[in-house]
C-alpha cells in the first residue's frame, strides 16, 4: 500500500514538471523576437553623362542623343549657355532636339547631371563635341567629340555627309605607343582595325555609325597602313577602307604631345579646333612643325603633325 502511494506521488510530480515545461515553451514562443536590421540601401554608382549621336544639318537643325543614369536629367550646354534638358529613360538613354536651329559658327557642346544632394558637384561629360555650323546653310558640317583625357577623337559627322559609309576619319598616336583610330561604318556593324596588317582592335559601330579603337603599338620611321574591315552577320568582310601615313622619328611626339595624321579635307585650323576647341590656336601647331610646314595653308593627307597638348588659346 505504501509503495502504491509513493508511485502515485512520483507520477503526479512528473506530470506537474511536464506541464510547467509545456507552459514555459509556449511563453517563449509568444515572446517578441528582436527586430532584424534591414541593410541600408547602397547608393547607385554615379554614371557620367555621354554623347552617342550628334547630327546637324547645314541649316543648324540638330539631333543629340546619349546616355546617363536611368531617370537622370541631363543638361546640354553650348559653351556656358544651356541649350536644354533631357531625361534619361529606364535604360539610361536620352534624346534632345533643340527648338531652334543652332546659329552659324563653331560651337562646343558639353553635358552635366546635377545630383539631388545639396552642394554636390555636378557630373560632367568626359569630352566636348565641337560643331561647325556653316553660314547661310552653305558649307561643310562637322561634329567631332574630343575627350578631355587625351583619348581617341570620335568623328560623329563628317563634312557633307549625313550618312556615311566605311571610313577612317582620325589617327592619333603619342610617345607612349598609344594609337587611336576612329571612323564611321554602317550603324551597328562590327569592324576590325588593322595597323600594318596586324590587328589593333575590334569595335562595333554605334547608332550613328561611329566606331573607335585604342591600342598600343610602337611605330617606327617610315610608311604605315591603317585598315578597317566591316563585317556582315556571317563575319565576312563586306567593306574595306585603308589609309597610308608616314612616321618621321624627328617629328615623334615628346612628353605632352601627340601626333595627328592629316586626313583628306583637314587643315591646321580644323585640327586645332578638334584638339584645342579653338581654330585660331592653329598657330601653335604651325610653330611646332616649322621644320616640315612652310605654308600653314598647305598640308597634305598622310602627313604626320606634332600637336602640343594642353595648350591654351593664343
Nearest CA to 215 among 169, 172, 270, 264?
172
Task: Supply the pLDDT for residue 196.
Answer: 92
Q: Does residue 106 sit within a domain?
A: yes
Sorted by sequence, the CB contacts under 8 Å of residue 159 that are 6+ apart come out as 140, 141, 142, 265
- In sequence order, what are the beta bridge partners of 241? 228
Rg (CA), the chain: 33
Q: Does residue 298 sit within a domain?
A: no
Task: Supply the pLDDT for residue 33.
Answer: 55
Q: Does residue 127 sit within a domain?
A: yes
Sorted by sequence, the CB contacts under 8 Å of residue 243 that are 6+ apart come out as 168, 171, 225, 226, 227, 261, 263, 301, 302
**b/e map of 271-308 (b: 16 or more CB within 10 Å)?**
bbbbbbbbbebbebbbebbeeebeebeebeebbbbbbb
CATH number of the domain residue 57 falls in: 2.60.40.10
Rounded Cα distance, 87 and 69, in Å: 9
Q: What is the pLDDT of residues 89-144, one digit of tens each?
A: 888 888 887 878 888 888 899 999 988 777 778 899 988 898 888 887 677 778 88
Task: Supply the pLDDT for residue 61.
Answer: 75
Task: Supply the pLDDT for residue 22.
Answer: 47
Nearest CA to 187 among 158, 219, 215, 163?
163
Regions of the chain short of the pLDDT cut 50: 2, 4-7, 9-12, 14-15, 17, 19-24, 26, 28, 30-31, 162-164, 312-314
Total domain count, the chain: 1
Task: Supply the pLDDT for residue 14.
Answer: 46
Q: Does residue 292 sit within a domain?
A: no
Q: Does residue 115 sit within a domain?
A: yes
Rounded Cα distance, 40 and 133, in Å: 50
Q: Does residue 240 sit within a domain?
A: no
Q: Does residue 24 sit within a domain?
A: no
**b/e map of 97-106 (b: 16 or more CB within 10 Å)?**
ebeeebebee
Domain extent for 99: 47-139
- The DSSP code for 89 is -
Task: Supply the pLDDT for residue 87.
Answer: 87
Task: Supply the pLDDT for residue 144.
Answer: 85
Residue 177 near residue 217 (C-beta atoms within 8 A) = yes
Task: Supply the pLDDT for residue 75.
Answer: 94
- pTM for the predicted model, two decimal places: 0.43
- In sequence order, what are the beta bridge partners of 2? none
Q: Does residue 153 sit within a domain?
A: no
Q: What is the pLDDT of residues 1-37, one digit of tens each?
A: 545 444 454 444 544 545 444 444 545 454 455 555 5
On the CB side of 4, CA atoms within 13 Å amount to: 1
Amino acid at each position: 500500500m505504501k509503495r502504491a502511494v509513493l508511485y502515485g506521488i512520483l507520477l503526479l510530480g512528473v506530470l506537474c514538471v511536464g506541464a510547467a515545461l509545456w507552459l514555459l515553451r509556449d511563453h517563449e514562443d509568444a515572446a517578441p523576437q528582436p527586430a532584424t536590421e534591414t541593410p541600408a540601401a547602397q547608393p547607385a554608382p554615379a554614371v557620367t553623362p555621354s554623347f552617342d549621336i550628334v547630327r546637324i544639318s547645314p541649316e543648324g537643325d540638330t539631333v543629340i542623343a546619349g546616355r546617363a543614369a536611368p531617370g537622370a536629367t541631363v543638361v546640354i550646354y553650348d559653351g556656358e549657355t544651356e541649350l536644354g534638358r533631357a531625361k534619361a529613360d529606364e535604360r539610361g538613354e536620352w534624346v534632345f532636339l533643340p527648338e531652334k536651329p543652332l546659329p552659324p559658327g563653331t560651337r562646343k557642346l558639353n553635358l552635366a547631371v546635377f545630383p539631388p544632394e545639396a552642394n554636390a558637384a555636378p557630373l560632367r561629360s568626359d569630352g566636348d563635341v565641337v560643331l561647325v555650323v556653316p553660314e547661310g546653310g552653305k558649307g561643310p558640317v562637322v561634329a567631332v567629340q574630343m575627350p578631355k583625357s587625351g583619348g581617341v577623337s570620335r568623328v560623329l559627322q563628317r563634312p557633307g555627309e549625313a550618312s556615311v559609309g566605311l571610313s577612317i576619319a582620325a589617327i592619333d598616336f603619342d610617345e607612349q605607343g598609344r594609337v587611336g583610330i576612329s571612323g564611321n561604318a554602317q550603324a551597328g556593324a562590327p569592324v576590325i582595325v588593322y595597323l600594318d596588317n596586324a590587328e589593333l582592335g575590334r569595335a562595333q559601330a554605334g547608332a550613328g555609325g561611329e566606331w573607335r579603337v585604342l591600342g598600343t603599338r610602337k611605330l617606327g620611321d617610315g610608311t604605315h597602313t591603317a585598315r578597317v574591315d566591316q563585317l556582315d552577320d556571317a563575319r565576312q568582310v563586306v567593306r574595306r577602307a585603308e589609309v597610308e601615313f608616314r612616321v618621321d622619328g624627328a617629328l615623334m611626339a615628346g612628353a605632352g604631345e601627340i601626333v595627328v595624321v592629316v586626313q583628306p579635307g583637314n587643315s591646321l585650323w580644323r585640327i586645332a579646333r578638334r584638339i584645342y576647341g579653338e581654330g585660331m590656336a592653329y598657330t601653335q601647331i604651325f610653330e611646332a612643325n616649322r621644320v616640315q610646314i612652310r605654308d600653314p595653308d598647305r598640308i597634305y593627307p598622310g602627313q604626320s603633325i606634332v600637336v602640343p597638348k594642353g595648350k591654351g588659346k593664343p
